[in-house]
Amino acid sequence: MTESATMTDTSMYQGSLTALVTPMHPDGRIDFDVSAKLIERQIEAGTTGLIPAGTTGESPTLSHEEHGRVVAHCVETANGRVRVMAGAGSNSTSEAVLMAKHAHSVGADSLLVVVPYYNKPSQEGLYRHFMTIADATPLPMFLYCIPGRSVVDISVATMARLGEHPNIVGTKDATANMARPTAVRRAVDKPFNQLSGDDHSVLSFLAAGGDGCIGVTSNVVPHLCADMHLAWQEGRIEDAIAIQDHLTPLHDAMFMESNPGPVKYALSRLGLCNATLRLPLVEPQEATCRAIDEALRSLELLD
Distance CA(180)–CA(149), nearest Å, equals 18
DSSP 55: T
Which residue of the set 144, 190, 264, 265 is catalytic? 144
56 is in an annotated binding site: yes
Which residue of the set 172, 190, 264, 265 is catalytic? 172
CA dihedral 53, 58, 61, 63 (to 10 degrees): -20
- Please confirm, yes or no, whether 144 is among the known catalytic residues: yes
Q: What are phi and psi of 52, to 5 degrees?
A: -90, 155
In 10 A of CB 152, how many CB atoms? 18
Question: Is residue 11 exposed (0-12), middle (13-18) or buried (19+ Cβ within 10 Å)?
Answer: exposed
171 is in an annotated binding site: no
The DSSP bridge partners found for residue 50 are 18, 84
Q: What is the DSSP string of 67-101?
A: HHHHHHHHHHHHTTSSEEEEE---SSHHHHHHHHH
Cis upstream peptide for 166 (omega within 30°): no
Q: What are phi and psi of 99, to 5 degrees?
A: -65, -40
The DSSP bridge partners found for residue 19 are 51
Among residues 16, 19, 20, which one has the least CA distance to residue 273? 20
- The b-or-e profile of 21-33 (16+ CB within 10 A means b, else e) is bbbbeeeeebbbe
- Please confirm, yes or no, whether 190 is among the known catalytic residues: no
Binding residues: 56, 214
Residues involved in catalysis: 144, 172
Binding residues for pyruvate: 56, 214
